[in-house]
Structure 1
Amino acid sequence: MHDFLYAWGPLILLVAVWFYFMKKGGALNYKQHVQDMKDLASAQLVEMKRTNEILERLEAIMKDRSQ
């Protein structure tokens, strides 16, 4: 029995500590993190579209000035 604890004890302890910190940090709340990432991606998409519209307007202005 002692050989088993000496061989596997540190690994079991490491896994237990890892689970503790993951649960404490909220890493096991996967659905919330996925939803946050989807919200962030949609906000970035809206901002990118807005930026592209501004750049297209600037491009049109620059073409008009160059002619």
Structure 2
Amino acid sequence: MRIEGHTDTTGTAESNLILSRGPSCGGDDFLVSHGVTADRLSAKGLGARRPKVAETTADNRAEG
């Protein structure tokens, strides 16, 4: 299973990439603590790449 962390486009690409690594790594810790073996997981921070929706409004940024 791959766990991905994302951010909105606010901030620099580098800072967003670093920020997005936090939630993804926390996700794998949670799953391991609930019985999923670590060798079945990978975590990746993607920053602002591949947003779920276009960030044209504040609501969309919150969703993305």
Answer with 1 or 2: which has the greater Rg.
1
Would you tell me which structure has more helix in proportion to its own residues?
A: 1
**TM-score for the superposition, normalised by structure 2:** 0.36
Would you tell me which structure has more strand in proportion to its own residues?
A: 2
Which structure has more relative contact order (CA 8 Å, sep 6+)? It is: 2
